[in-house]
A and B are shown apart, each in its own frame.
Chain A
Amino acid sequence: MSHTGDTAMTTVLMENLTSAEHAVRGDNPPQRILKDISLKMTAGEVWSVSAPKAFEIRLLLEIMGNIRPYESGRCVLVERGMIRRKRRLLRHVFYVGATDMFYGTMTALEHLMLFFPHAPTALGRLNAQACLLEELLAHELGHIALTRIDRLASADKIALALFAATMSDSALVIVNLPEIPPEDRLLPAFSALSRTLRKGGKTLVLGTRDPNLIDAACTHSAFLAGGKILYQGKTETLLNTLDPVLLTLRGTGLDALEARLSPLPPGYSFQRAEDTLHILCRPPEKGDLEMLYKMIAETGIVPTAVEVHRKNAANAFKELLKQHDLQDDLLP
């Protein structure tokens, strides 16, 4: 059975959901944390849920994981209604909300062996352990296999939890740890894990504020700010339609180049960093790279490097906040 395309199972369906919780900042009046949230996720997708404020992500994913109640709206998980008893363990939802969900004195491999007790004979255990080790290596997690869990970084523990999730029967895997500091060294592992989960027809929802992780592992993204969803959809679309940077120029003489290129055609603009000059285009999809190359060549100034900008989520989120007239210093 295929889990992609139009016939794919809906794993998360939120309609006009509002939270009961309000946030109070200083002496300001209380503001509802989540307002009118509508989200749809289907099997085989890897979603990132991001927001400038970590507690907004936490609350949304806790509601999604059946940890907290919501005030109004509708939430359906894996095409089953939400049960009344909150925090109740659901076999179809694998929720990771903390990094200390392991016995710290065991190694990662040992813990994984404990998770799978159904290999009674010595040979069965040997094979099981060999398979697990191979799988860990295949998921770029070989470095954690023989390390005591309490000596692993938080991000490593998340990766271990995700690895366990790949072997569960749960259709929806939620990782709700937006406050964990990002670790770029683990991006290949998260990417491999998300591929495996997709292949298994599961939906992975990552609560994260790490743009690099979104670029590396997520097929879909949702971005929240001020309690509302500002974007939801494919990550590719997010990057292509919102990251306005087209070209990155590096080297000397960038001031002169900027002066010679000015004025740029309508929709284009410059963004200057120390030894870098970005050329932006709004909307990004209307950017004409050929025209820009020609213009640069005509100036006669040759920068050290001219790169077609690789779209990233960090720029896309900044742009999103700008479009909604929100402060970009809210970003992580």
Chain B
Amino acid sequence: MIYKTTFFRKQLRQAYADGRTGIRRQGGFALFSGLVSFAVYFVLQTLRRSVLADAVPHILQKSYFSTVFLYIHLSVALMTAYFLLYFEHIFFTDIRRNIWYMLIQLGHSPLKLTFQKMLAWLSSTAAMYTLGFVFVVLLTGLLRFTFVPAYLPGLYLSGLADVILMGALMMTLSLTVSTTAGARGYTLLFFAALYGLKAVTGFYTVLSNRAAMQNLQSIFDPSRSVYMLLCAVLLIFLAFTGVISARRLSQYYVTPGHGYGPLPPDTRIIIPSQSTAAPARPRRGLLLNAAITALLVIVMTAALLFNVFVILLAVSKPGQELTVRGVIPYIFQSETMQPEIEYNDLACFQRIDRLQPLHVGDVVLFQSDGTVYVERILSIHGELVTVDIDHYPPLAETGAMRKTVLRKSIYGLYVGRSRWLGVLILFSNTIIGRIVFLLLPAVLLFYRRQILAYLRKRRKV
């Protein structure tokens, strides 16, 4: 066999890195991203009758726009996760391992190596993203939605810009931040900032506007949003910084660890000027790790508690409802009280006794013939209270639900609702929701150390 592969070709195939980031794995990951987006679309379809329909209608519609819109956002998150996972294989950590040292000593130009590596990464990332994009479009074709190709280029380019921007940032971080953990921390911060920037610059408004997106120029129009302009500036800055840093770093030998090799027991090495310095503060990396671990534990515990709450809510029966500090929560699966309470809202009722004064216009919770109702008070006559619903469906006879009930049967007074908690509970009751909010946190909370130890062991092997 003749080895005629060049540095660029090897980089393009990710063949220098471990097999897990090779070209086949990249293709597999692209298809996986497409499938995940498609799956998320279907999960969201189960939440159509919720606040999501008002908040993000563009991802719930039955159209190519929704599936592709989901893909361009999820692919940024998934590819960032992919880059983070294989950070040491994909980016410039080979310079820190002094692999370029020998290449340069034997006549390779550091600048040429840098450009080749960047170009190869750019090509393979764009190919991964494009493959996933095409896969989503093909999958959506199976749903027989009306195909409107006009908004695809705009969506494609905006997603690609995000993916490349995240990758370029991580590439620069791999050169400028000395530890991988530090680079990963900064990446997560930047990821959050990127989404903040999209919201602040109004780019979401542009992206979610199907009519505007049919014109490719909309995403580049600074009068609508300066996001793409900022992206371009940031990208140029990152590329420039990356090239300069790579060139500089590749001309130095990087000492691994403290650099003195294994020391005898009880022996440490000091440089007197350092030895008289103030005691070293705990390393930032350790603090960051501790903070992340604490945050994870809090999030996982909260997810578990939330799911326990959802399960208790689901098993509560009329008259034996779950009460939290005197408040009865209800997932309101009816349109009868619109617009006061929307379908799938989490409605909260203050538990009341017979002495609690009631007023006309109050929305109350009561039991009649073993069934629980929520209606508005129309009139009060001593112990008799007349109630009715707010919203009758079309063609229904108005007043059909009006009834007079005894005061003693009223045991809850409506105090408010949460639309977002409603959709969260709705999601938690799906299989995916159970996995995300119950199974995963439970496993991670109790077996986090074992999983991490296993992963570390595998990495060493």
A interface, CB within 8 angstroms of B: 20-26, 30, 33, 53-55, 58-59, 62, 65, 67-68, 87-89, 91, 94-95, 97-98, 100-107, 109-110, 113-118, 122, 125-126, 129, 161, 164, 167-168, 170, 178-179
Contacts and interface: CB of A to CB of B under 8 A. Distances in A.
Nearest to A85: B252
A97 B253 contact: yes
B271 A21 contact: yes
B42 interface: no
A101 B101 contact: yes
B70 to A, nearest CB: 35
B99 A88 contact: no
B357 interface: no
B99 A102 contact: yes
A67 B19 contact: no
B103 A115 contact: yes
A149 to B, nearest CB: 10
Given A114-B10, A125-B2, A22 B253 contact: no
Interface in B1-56: 2-7, 10, 15-19
Contact of B259 (A23, A25, A67, A88): A67
B269 interface: yes
A21 B270 contact: yes
A237 to B, nearest CB: 29
Interface string B251-280: 111111001111110111111110100000
Interface stretch (B104-112, B228-236, B421-429): B104-112
7 contacts: A23-B270, A55-B267, A88-B253, A100-B97, A102-B99, A105-B18, A126-B2
Given A30-B270, A178-B261, A88 B252 contact: yes
B94 interface: yes
Contacts of B105: 89, 91, 94, 168, 170
Contacts of A100: 97, 99
Given A97-B255, A161-B102, A23 B261 contact: no
B458 to A, nearest CB: 15
Contacts of B94: 103
Contacts of A107: 3
Given A26-B266, A89-B101, A161-B102, A95 B253 contact: yes
A101 B3 contact: no
Contacts of A101: 97-99, 101-102
Interface of B: 2-7, 10, 15-19, 94, 97-99, 101-108, 250-256, 259-264, 266-273, 275
A117 B7 contact: yes
Contacts of B10: 103, 106, 114
A55 B108 contact: no
A109 B103 CA distance: 14
A115 B106 contact: yes
Contacts of A179: 261-262
Contacts of B98: 97-98, 101
Given A89-B253, A97-B253, A114-B7, A55 B261 contact: yes
Contacts of A113: 3-5
A103 B13 CA distance: 14
A24 B271 CA distance: 10
A30 B272 contact: yes
Given A58-B260, A98-B256, A89 B104 contact: yes
A133 to B, nearest CB: 10
Contacts of A20: 271-273
A114 B102 CA distance: 11
A54 B262 contact: yes
The listed residue with most B CB atoms (<10 A of its CB), out of A24, A89, A95, is A89
Q: Which of A59, A87, A105 has the most CB of B within 10 A?
A: A105
Nearest to B10: A114
Given A24-B270, A129-B2, A53 B264 contact: yes
A122 B104 CA distance: 24
Given A54-B261, A125-B2, A22 B270 contact: yes
A122 B268 CA distance: 54
A168 B103 CA distance: 10
Contacts of B15: 105-106
Given A89-B101, A95-B253, A97-B98, A106 B16 contact: yes
Given A89-B253, A117-B108, A55 B269 contact: yes
Lowest 7 A-B CB distances belong to which pairs?
A113-B3, A103-B16, A110-B3, A87-B252, A115-B106, A55-B260, A125-B4
A23 B268 contact: yes
Contacts of A170: 105
Nearest to A114: B7
Contacts of A167: 106
Nearest to A56: B260
A164 B106 contact: yes
Contact of B19 (A55, A87, A105): A105
A22 B269 CA distance: 6
Contacts of A21: 260, 269-271
B2 A114 contact: no
A157 to B, nearest CB: 11
A181 B6 CA distance: 34
Contacts of B99: 100-103
Contacts of A53: 264
Contact of A122 (B4, B103, B263, B264): B4
Contacts of B5: 110, 113-114
Contacts of A89: 101, 104-105, 250-253
A118 B106 CA distance: 11
B7 A67 contact: no
